[in-house]
A and B are shown apart, each in its own frame.
Chain A
């Protein structure tokens, strides 16, 4: 671990930065596939056997004038998630009857419609929640690092914790851009909740490592020894790696069982948290700590 971080710190930082840049560029160029929570409309899940998506599109367009139809299929469960404009219960029952006569067995599982007034309200609430969690977490970071310790200024820990947080959210967000583009997976309010949860998790995981770095720096100072920062950081990471990995592992165990055995409707929510948790664990060990060393080195010797 010790030598590994020293030798490969730069490569790891570059890899992580590239991943974040790819994620952010994908978000900007492709955009999220927004679900009905944000766009209004209807989301309808039915179970059917082997119906062709093109056939389904033609059916909806010709019979009911539904031109825009987003289809996401869960292959293992034969569940089709159809996103379309707002339809009334009467219309829905008519479509269901017509589908049954055309495609055979159709099991009606889950249906929801959201009107524009509700979706704009949900959007507003999502923004408020994101902003408040950011503010809350920033205040918490300021509180956690309020005791200034040399040689690293406390605000540097704070800034790096925030950069790590963005890294941990950017990765799952990037994955979901591609899931949206290629598998029709839509971003809903649950995804926002998952990202907020990841933010909370990311911060606490990073703080566990940084706390130890600070503690070791204090011990070195008291003992009036001199040791390069990178060695202290490496030792701290080494000391905390078991707890960091183990606390994440218990969460990952639960998330994996939820993903593979849990309900279909929470799958994407769980997947988003799972990716974020793994990114968060990885980043607090391999990203945040080397970043601290490089930031410190750079501020001492900017030319290098």
Chain B
């Protein structure tokens, strides 16, 4: 009797949590106002641009900072043409860094690609000479990302146009240090990989302003100022990958996926109830709890973005989630056939089916983990939802079903 009371308490907690989880995961009402779902571009439409970052010449301990700077500048750039919530993500790979730029709902992305492409790459390099007298440039930490603003100025001797750069506080400090250790030597300013001017440093420069003079026309100088004000890059980038999904095709995918999910789930519940009768009803109830808990779990993962592949993985996990129930119920039926009482047979079913359940979930879990760590971002979404789904399903199919059976079957017998 005591066991049953504790089962009732446990089940009440599970039920309350599941209802809350369901409300939280449901994309209307409470669920919409608290941490709304982040949907991938394949579900809402838009473009993903993937850029390779060229970090040649940047010391390895400064690469992460340079990439962070790139991200910031591109975000600012993308904001300029009014994309709602642009997302720029950094992906670190064995071959280097990649920037993934997500532009939701932009119809003509030609402009976006152009804008990003034309962002200038600026950096300062120290100049020295080797034994044969050739110039050697050493990259400094001071790059375009430390520029707060730029203005157009004119040289007061020959009236040639020049660009005045105002550094951020951090940039000003770096500039001061660099000028301090290069007094009497030239300091090169590189724009898009080309040295444009190499003035000799006369003294330590404080205050965080630098002038770039050089062979500019007024128009060139004006464009540069505009671009610097929008942000300059700390390293060159190259577009290597593009994916554009039209909003209508994306919406269609989302709707069809949800339809398939609902109908597929209903079919599985129907099958379980028709085949296993009263036991099947408990499996169907456990499946509801599974769906609510798993969706809420996905939603609270920081930065989790639901993609088409992610939903596909989740939907497949529903097909696998009742596996544990089937293994238990088949075993239970066998024990009943052998002449065991129903309640004992159920207990034996749970106990003896456990090794098969464990084994059958291990192979899917192995596959999910490997897919998650070793493949592309599309596959990651699938592997994550499938893997987490399979693990949560063990909880729902075993623990939740058993708790329910302890409450309801005992009262019957």
Query: A: which residues have CB within 8 A of B?
Result: 45, 89-90, 93, 107-115, 117-118, 121-122, 125-126, 128-129, 132-133, 136-137, 140, 144, 189-190, 193, 196-197, 199-201, 203-205, 207-208, 211, 239, 242-243, 246-247, 249-255, 257-258, 261-266, 269-270, 273
> Out of A113, A137, A239, A249, which one reaches B334, CB within 8 Å?
A239
Chain A residue contacts of B375, Cβ below 8 A: 125-126, 129, 189, 193
Q: Is the CB of A208 within 8 A of B246?
A: no
Contacts A108-B246, A207-B360, A254-B319 hold; do A122 and B42 have CB atoms under 8 A apart? Answer: no
Count of A-B contacts with CB under 8 A? 194
Residue in chain B with minimal CB distance to A77: B252
Complexed CA–CA distance, A136 and B113 (Å): 42
Q: Is the CB of A261 within 8 A of B366?
A: no
Complexed CA–CA distance, A207 and B320 (Å): 16
Complexed CA–CA distance, A16 and B324 (Å): 29
Chain B residue contacts of A243, Cβ below 8 A: 326-327, 330
Q: Is the CB of A254 within 8 A of B318?
A: yes
Complexed CA–CA distance, A242 and B326 (Å): 9
Give min CB distance, A48 to chain B, whole Å: 14
B216-256 CB mask vs A (1 if < 8 Å, else 0) is 00000000000000000000000011111110110011101
Identify which of B160-168, B169-177, B184-192, B308-316 touches chain A: B308-316
Complexed CA–CA distance, A214 and B256 (Å): 44
Give min CB distance, A269 to chain B, whole Å: 7
Interface residues in B313-346 by Cβ distance below 8 A to A read 315-316, 318-320, 322-323, 326-327, 330, 334
Query: B: which residues have CB within 8 A of A?
Result: 42, 50, 52, 93, 95, 108-110, 113, 240-246, 248-249, 252-254, 256-257, 259-260, 263-264, 267-268, 271-272, 275, 308-309, 312, 315-316, 318-320, 322-323, 326-327, 330, 334, 355-356, 359-364, 366-367, 370-371, 374-376, 378-379, 382-383, 386
Chain A residue contacts of B246, Cβ below 8 A: 107-110
Give min CB distance, B365 to chain A, whole Å: 8
Chain A residue contacts of B108, Cβ below 8 A: 93
Q: Is the CB of B244 within 8 A of A111?
A: yes
Chain B residue contacts of A205, Cβ below 8 A: 360
Complexed CA–CA distance, A273 and B252 (Å): 22
Complexed CA–CA distance, A239 and B109 (Å): 60
Q: Is the CB of B362 within 8 A of A258?
A: no
Complexed CA–CA distance, A254 and B323 (Å): 13
Q: Is the CB of B267 within 8 A of A253?
A: yes
Q: Is the CB of A115 within 8 A of B241?
A: yes
Chain A residue contacts of B364, Cβ below 8 A: 197, 200-201, 204
Q: Is the CB of B367 within 8 A of A199?
A: yes
Q: Is the CB of B264 within 8 A of A257?
A: yes
> Out of A108, A254, A265, which one reaches B316, CB within 8 Å?
A254
Q: Is the CB of A261 within 8 A of B245?
A: no
Q: Is the CB of A257 within 8 A of B52?
A: no
Sample 21 A-B pairs with CB under 8 A, ordered by A number.
A89-B242, A108-B244, A109-B245, A112-B244, A136-B370, A140-B362, A193-B379, A197-B367, A204-B360, A207-B356, A243-B327, A250-B271, A250-B272, A250-B319, A250-B323, A251-B319, A253-B267, A253-B268, A261-B259, A263-B257, A263-B260
Chain B residue contacts of A189, Cβ below 8 A: 375-376, 378-379
Chain B residue contacts of A117, Cβ below 8 A: 52, 95, 240
Residue in B110, B312, B383 with the greatest tally of chain A CB atoms within 10 Å: B312
Give min CB distance, A160 to chain B, whole Å: 16
Q: Is the CB of A109 within 8 A of B370?
A: no
Q: Is the CB of B275 within 8 A of A140?
A: no
Chain A residue contacts of B109, Cβ below 8 A: 89
Complexed CA–CA distance, A90 and B114 (Å): 10
Chain A residue contacts of B242, Cβ below 8 A: 89, 111-113
Residue in chain B with minimal CB distance to A259: B260
The 9 A-B residue pairs whose C-beta atoms are closest, nearest first, are A254-B319, A263-B253, A204-B360, A257-B264, A251-B319, A262-B260, A200-B367, A109-B249, A115-B240
Residue in chain B with minimal CB distance to A208: B356
Chain B residue contacts of A125, Cβ below 8 A: 374-376
Complexed CA–CA distance, A252 and B267 (Å): 11
Q: Is the CB of B355 within 8 A of A211?
A: yes
Q: Is the CB of B244 within 8 A of A211?
A: no
Q: Is the CB of B249 within 8 A of A110?
A: yes
Q: Is the CB of A254 within 8 A of B264?
A: yes
Complexed CA–CA distance, A136 and B372 (Å): 14
Complexed CA–CA distance, A118 and B42 (Å): 20
> Out of B110, B253, B254, B271, which one reaches A90, CB within 8 Å?
B110
Q: Is the CB of B363 within 8 A of A129?
A: no
Complexed CA–CA distance, A89 and B308 (Å): 24
Complexed CA–CA distance, A256 and B259 (Å): 12
Complexed CA–CA distance, A111 and B42 (Å): 11
**9 more A-B residue pairs beyond the given contacts A121-B95, A133-B371, with a C-beta to C-beta distance below 8 A:** A93-B110, A112-B241, A112-B244, A200-B363, A200-B367, A207-B359, A250-B268, A250-B272, A264-B252
